[in-house]
Amino acid sequence: MIRIFKITILSACCIFLASCSLINFSEDCTYCGDVEIRPDWTKLMPDDIKPALTDIYLLSPQHTYSYGITSDTLVKDVPAVNYKALAFNSHGLAGISFSGMDCPNTAKAELETCEKNGRLYTIQAPAFYTANTGMKVIPFETVICEPVLQSAARRINIDFVVTGNADMGVSSINGELSGMAYKYGFRELDALEAAAWLAFPSVRSEEKGNLFSSCLKVFGVNPDKQGAGSIDNLLEIALQTTDGNTFCETVSLTDIFSGFTARSIHITIQVRISLMGIEVSVTDWSTGQEDHIDL
155, amino acid identity: R
Residue 161 CB partners (closer than 8 Å, separation 6+): 210, 211, 268, 269, 270, 271, 283
| Contact (Cβ atoms closer than 8 angstroms) between residue 123 and residue 93 | no
- Return the DSSP state at 262: S
The CATH code of the domain at 153-295 is 2.60.40.3740
Residue 50 CB partners (closer than 8 Å, separation 6+): 41, 44
What is the CATH architecture assignment of 29-93+128-152? Sandwich (2.60)
Asked if 29-93+128-152 and 153-295 have one fold, the answer is yes
From residue 64, alpha-carbon distances to 34, 79, 130, 148 in Å are 15, 10, 18, 21
Residue 82, SS3 per DSSP: strand
| Contact (Cβ atoms closer than 8 angstroms) between residue 201 and residue 174 | yes
- Return the DSSP state at 40: B
Q: What is the pLDDT along the chain (295 residues), one digit of tens a residue?
A: 555 545 555 555 454 444 433 334 455 578 999 999 999 999 988 778 899 999 999 999 999 999 999 999 999 999 999 999 999 999 999 999 999 999 999 999 999 999 999 999 999 999 999 999 999 999 999 999 999 999 999 999 999 999 988 767 899 999 999 999 999 999 989 888 878 999 999 999 999 999 999 999 999 987 665 555 567 899 999 999 998 889 999 999 999 998 788 889 999 999 999 877 899 999 999 998 654 433 3
The pTM is what? Answer: 0.83
Annotated domain spans of the chain: 29-93+128-152, 153-295
